[in-house]
Every structure is written in structure tokens, then in C-alpha cells.
């Protein structure tokens, strides 16, 4: 989502002037730091990063802090880093041109409605088009700061999404990647409070009807909204990539309740089982938080059990991090850091073990790979429908193409193979 917000800012800047991108901060006239605030660590890094830019930047170059940390820190950024010229919240991206013109500018209104704003066109990767289909989040997960930085959930009108998808696909982006904090809750509320005309499953079907679209991905769906209609569309539509993200967070029903996730361990397992049955070739990835306040050893074992049962192909796992504005930050039954680190390691080690069991099975299998980028040593990389990264020897000629690849050397994170 941040990548897309950055693309939107670049597109806006380019409306009237030409901005060239540079990786060398010393060369830049404008330095944009697009931030996250989901965990504490990146927020701490922000100020040391600003310090580095201040030290090395060109005389007169402006610095803008954007995104979720901008939303929640606001004025404090100017206080702690007076060299910053503007602070632009995650829902105020469209104001970037106004921001760069002023000596000092702050816009962090989380009620600002950009859901139907027609951003300019810019894509870092011409082969893949990220499209925001909703902004904000209506969930009230106890650990999560996002509703406080991105505001309430508003869906983008489907006509705009379809137009953007068609335009991107016609210009070469065979893959459409739909984005939303709660992506499969699409259509619940449009700007002004009206309900949308179509739901997420129907939106997927409509996007798949665009001839030039060959692949559709989306993130992040919420397990609670994985109803049968959604699973059926996912499993049966050949253009929808067979990779599902199912953020578990915890396997313990008691902790899920304290987290206010709205589902139980059994419900999650039932949905995952149904998905495996309906779409046996699909991969399932997840997000897991260990050591949420009150998590006992038994609760943690529940999480380990779910991992064992679902056999996730990929996990993103985190130690719980207390975030300002969230209800969990008030909880006093915290888990000590040593236990938290141990649980994270136990979880990650076992998942590495699961991957060691799964990965060898990919040897000699043939996958359809969409090539998106070049890597070192004359390698080209792409993804299978399941979202596995595949590398083969090759160059430019492969980019933007879908090829059959036979896996010769499967590794945990990269499957090496040959085009066949």
C-alpha cells in the first residue's frame, strides 16, 4: 500500500513538472520519506533517517515525511526534526503538489476523503499495476494503529477501478494487484456513506472480464470476510492467482477475542480447510503476532497447532509491539521480551522446518511464471500463480512474459529453474 501511495505522489508531482527519480540523496532536490507505523521500530528509524538526509542533502533540498507515521506524529515531526519542510498523512497524498510549494506544510486529516480522487499515472513496475480499491480500515483490532492513521474504510467506486485496471492492462500490466487494508470487505461503504453496488467477489469477476488482464492478486483479505461466494470465485476463476493471504494473528480463540479479530481458531481452520479442498494448488500465507498481552504458553501452542495444520507456504511473523492510540497499549498483562523472542524463534524455526518438508516437492514441477524483474548474474525473476519466486537464466526478453518453467533447484525462498 505504501508503494502505491509513493507511486501516487510521484504521479501527482509529475502532472506539471518533470521529476526525475534518483537513488542518490545527495543529488535530490526533494526527499520523500514514506513511512509505516504498524510497529515501533520503523518509527524510531524515521528520525535517524531524517538526520542522515539532513547531513548529506543538497543545499535547499526539501524533505517531506509522508504516510502513517506522518498521520500519527504530525507536529511532533517538526519539533523533533525542524529541517523537515512538510508532513503529509496517509490520506492526504493528493496534496503533495501544494506541499512542495510551501516553506512549511502539514496535512494529516484522517477524515480527508481521497477514495474517488483521480490520481495521475505512474508505475514503478510496468508489468504489474497496484490499484487501491479502498482506503482506511473499519476494523478495531486491539493491536493495530492503522485505523488511527488511515481513518475509516471507504471503497473506491467500481467504475474507477475498472477503468484503471483496463488502462493499466492495455498498457502492458498483465497483472492487476488490488489493495485495501480489508480488501475483501470491498463495497460496504462508498464516499458519502452509500453502499457500493457490487461486492469484492463481483469486482474480481468484472476485472477478470477485461481481456488484457491475465493475472489478478489482492491483499490483505480478512479471514472473517472469506465467505463461500468469495472462496468459490477465488478457486474457479482462472485469472485469479492461487495465492491467498489469511492473516491469522493468533491461533488461540481467547487471544483472538482479546485482539477483537471476530473469529475463532476453529472458524479459521474450517475456512483454511475449505480453501485447501476447493483449490488444492493454492498457497496460503499468513501474518502472526506472538506475545500479545495475556498470551500464555498454551495460547502460543494453539498458534503452533494452526501452523502445523494449515502448513502455510509463507508466514510473516512479528513480536507484539505496543502502539499508541490502540486499546492493547493499555493492557498491563504484557509478556516479557525474553519469552516473546523465544516464541518468535520457535515459530520461525518450525516454519523453516515445514518449508524444508514442502520445498523438495517442487523439484521437476512445471509452473507458469510471470517475469517481472532482472536479478544479478544474468537471472530473471518472476512469480508463479502461488506467489513463489522463480529465477531462471535470462534477460530483458523474458520481462512481461508468462513462461512455463521447470524447477531444477528448489530453495526455501527461491525456486531455480529453466524455461521449457
**Three-state secondary-structure class, residue 100:** helix
**Which residues touch 161 (CB under 8 Å, ≥6 apart)?**
131, 133, 178, 203, 207
- Answer yes or no whether residue 289 interacts with ligand SAH by CB under 6 A: yes
Least CB distance to ligand SAH at residue 235 (A): 21
- Answer yes or no whether residue 287 interacts with ligand SAH by CB under 6 A: yes
- Answer yes or no whether residue 247 interacts with ligand SAH by CB under 6 A: yes
Alpha-carbon distance of 180 to 201, in angstroms, equals: 14
Alpha-carbon distance of 207 to 210, in angstroms, equals: 6
Q: How many residues bind ligand SAH (CB under 6 A)?
A: 18
Alpha-carbon distance of 243 to 112, in angstroms, equals: 33
Alpha-carbon distance of 272 to 249, in angstroms, equals: 14
Only segment of 100-108, 120-128, 141-149, 162-170 that touches ligand SAH (CB under 6 A): 141-149
- Answer yes or no whether residue 225 interacts with ligand SAH by CB under 6 A: no
Contact 349/366 with Cβ under 8 angstroms?
no
- Answer yes or no whether residue 321 interacts with ligand SAH by CB under 6 A: yes
- Residues 158-197, interacting with ligand SAH (CB under 6 A): 181-182
- Residues 145-164, interacting with ligand SAH (CB under 6 A): 146
- Answer yes or no whether residue 222 interacts with ligand SAH by CB under 6 A: yes
* C-alpha of 387 from chain center: 14
- Answer yes or no whether residue 251 interacts with ligand SAH by CB under 6 A: no
Which position among 105, 119, 127, 143 is part of the footprint of ligand SAH (CB under 6 A)? 143
Least CB distance to ligand SAH at residue 185 (A): 10
Least CB distance to ligand SAH at residue 317 (A): 8
Least CB distance to ligand SAH at residue 245 (A): 7
Alpha-carbon distance of 350 to 307, in angstroms, equals: 9
**Which residues touch 60 (CB under 8 Å, ≥6 apart)?**
29
Q: Is the peptide bond before 38 cis (omega within 30 degrees of 0)?
A: no
Contact 46/34 with Cβ under 8 angstroms?
no
Whichever of 279 and 321 has its CB closer to ligand SAH, that residue is: 321
Q: What angle do CA 322, 317, 143 make, to 5 degrees?
A: 25
**Three-state secondary-structure class, residue 183:** helix
**Three-state secondary-structure class, residue 42:** helix
Contact 382/125 with Cβ under 8 angstroms?
no
Which position among 78, 117, 267, 318 is part of the footprint of ligand SAH (CB under 6 A)? 318
Whichever of 131 and 369 has its CB closer to ligand SAH, that residue is: 131
- Answer yes or no whether residue 262 interacts with ligand SAH by CB under 6 A: no
Alpha-carbon distance of 319 to 290, in angstroms, equals: 5
Least CB distance to ligand SAH at residue 136 (A): 10
Query: What phi and psi values does residue 119 have, to the nearest 5 degrees?
Result: -65, 155
Least CB distance to ligand SAH at residue 38 (A): 5
- Residues 39-78, interacting with ligand SAH (CB under 6 A): 39
Whichever of 81 and 146 has its CB closer to ligand SAH, that residue is: 146
Helices 228-236 and 200-208 meet at what angle, rounded to 10? 20
Only segment of 53-61, 138-146, 304-312, 362-370 that touches ligand SAH (CB under 6 A): 138-146
Whichever of 128 and 222 has its CB closer to ligand SAH, that residue is: 222
- Answer yes or no whether residue 220 interacts with ligand SAH by CB under 6 A: yes
**Which residues of the shown chain bind ligand SAH in the complex (CB under 6 A)?**
38-39, 137, 143-144, 146, 181-182, 220, 222, 247, 249, 287, 289, 318, 320-321, 323
Amino acid at each position: 500500500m505504501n508503494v502505491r501511495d509513493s507511486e501516487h505522489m510521484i504521479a501527482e508531482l509529475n502532472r506539471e513538472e518533470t521529476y526525475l527519480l534518483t537513488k542518490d540523496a545527495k543529488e535530490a532536490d526533494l526527499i520523500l520519506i514514506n513511512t509505516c507505523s504498524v510497529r515501533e521500530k520503523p518509527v524510531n528509524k524515521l528520525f535517524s533517517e531524517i538526520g542522515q538526509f539532513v547531513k548529506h542533502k543538497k543545499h535547499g533540498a526539501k524533505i517531506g515525511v509522508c504516510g502513517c507515521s506522518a498521520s500519527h506524529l504530525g507536529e511532533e515531526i517538526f519539533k523533533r526534526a525542524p529541517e523537515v519542510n512538510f508532513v503529509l498523512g496517509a490520506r492526504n497524498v493528493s496534496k503533495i503538489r501544494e506541499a512542495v510549494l510551501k516553506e512549511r506544510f502539514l496535512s494529516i486529516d484522517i477524515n480527508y476523503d481521497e477514495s474517488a480522487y483521480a490520481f495521475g499515472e505512474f508505475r514503478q513496475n510496468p508489468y504489474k499495476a497496484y490499484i487501491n480499491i479502498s482506503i482506511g480500515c473499519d476494523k478495531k483490532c486491539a493491536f493495530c494503529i492503522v485505523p488511527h492513521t488511515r481513518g475509516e474504510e471507504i471503497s473506491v467506486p467500481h467504475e474507477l477501478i475498472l477503468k484503471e485496471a483496463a488502462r493499466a492492462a492495455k498498457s502492458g500490466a498483465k497483472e492487476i494487484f488490488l489493495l485495501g487494508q480489508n480488501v475483501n470487505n470491498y463495497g460496504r461503504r462508498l464516499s458519502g456513506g452509500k453502499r457500493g453496488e457490487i461486492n469484492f467477489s463481483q469486482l474480481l469477476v468484472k476485472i477478470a472480464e477485461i481481456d488484457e488482464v491475465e493475472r489478478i492478486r489482492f491483499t490483505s483479505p480478512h479471514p472473517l470476510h472469506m465467505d463461500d461466494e468469495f472462496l468459490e470465485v477465488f478457486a474457479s476463476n482462472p485469472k485469479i492467482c492461487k495465492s491467498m493471504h489469511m492473516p491469522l494473528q493468533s491461533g488461540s480463540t481467547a487471544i483472538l477475542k482479546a485482539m477483537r479479530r471476530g473469529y475463532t481458531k476453529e472458524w479459521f481452520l474450517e475456512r483454511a480447510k475449505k480453501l485447501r479442498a476447493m483449490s488444492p494448488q493454492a498457497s496460503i500465507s499468513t501474518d502472526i503476532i506472538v506475545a500479545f498481552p495475556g498470551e500464555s504458553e498454551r495460547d502460543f501452542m494453539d498458534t503452533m497447532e494452526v501452523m502445523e495444520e494449515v502448513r502455510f507456504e509463507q508466514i510473516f511473523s512479528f513480536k507484539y509491539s505496543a502502539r499508541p492510540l490502540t486499546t492493547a497499549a493499555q493492557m498491563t498483562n504484557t509478556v516479557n521480551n525474553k519469552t516473546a523472542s523465544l516464541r518468535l524463534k520457535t515459530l520461525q524455526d518450525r516454519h523453516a522446518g515445514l518449508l524444508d518438508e514442502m520445498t523438495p516437492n517442487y523439484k521437476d514441477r512445471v509452473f507458469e511464471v510471470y517475469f517481472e524483474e532482472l536479478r544479478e548474474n544474468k537471472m530473471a525473476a518472476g512469480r508463479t500463480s502461488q506467489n513463489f519466486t522463480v529465477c531462471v537464466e535470462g534477460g530483458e526478453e523474458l520481462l512481461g512474459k508468462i513462461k512455463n518453467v521447470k524447477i531444477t533447484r528448489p530453495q526455501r525462498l527461491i525456486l531455480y529453474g529453466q524455461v521449457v
